[in-house]
Chain A
Amino acid sequence: DAGVIQSPRHEVTEMGQEVTLRCKPISGHNSLFWYRQTMMRGLELLIYFNNNVPIDDSGMPEDRFSAKMPNASFSTLKIQPSEPRDSAVYFCASKKGIYSDTDTQYFGPGTRLTVL
Chain B
Amino acid sequence: GDSVTQMEGPVTLSEEACLTINCTYTATGYPSLFWYVQYPGEGLQLLLKATKADDKGSNKGFEATYRKETTSFHLEKGSVQVSDSAVYFCALSPIQGAQKLVFGQGTRLTINP
CB within 8 Å of B: which residues of A? 4, 31, 33, 42-43, 45, 48, 50, 55-56, 91, 93, 98-102, 104-110
- Chosen A-B contacts, 23 in total, with CB atoms closer than 8 Å, are A33-B101, A42-B106, A43-B106, A48-B100, A50-B99, A56-B100, A91-B43, A100-B97, A101-B32, A101-B51, A101-B93, A101-B95, A101-B96, A101-B97, A102-B32, A102-B51, A104-B46, A105-B46, A105-B101, A106-B46, A107-B45, A109-B42, A110-B42
CB within 8 Å of A: which residues of B? 31-32, 34, 36, 41-46, 49, 51, 89, 93-101, 103, 105-106
Interchain CB contact under 8 A, B43 and A107: yes
Chief secondary structure at chain B's binding surface:
loop
How far in angstroms is the closest Cβ of chain B from A60?
A: 14
Interchain CB contact under 8 A, B105 and A42: yes
Interchain CB contact under 8 A, B101 and A91: no
Q: Which 6 pairs show the lowest CB-CB distances between chains A and B?
A: A107-B43, A99-B97, A101-B93, A107-B44, A102-B51, A43-B103
B49 / chain A contacts, CB cutoff of 8 Å: 102, 104
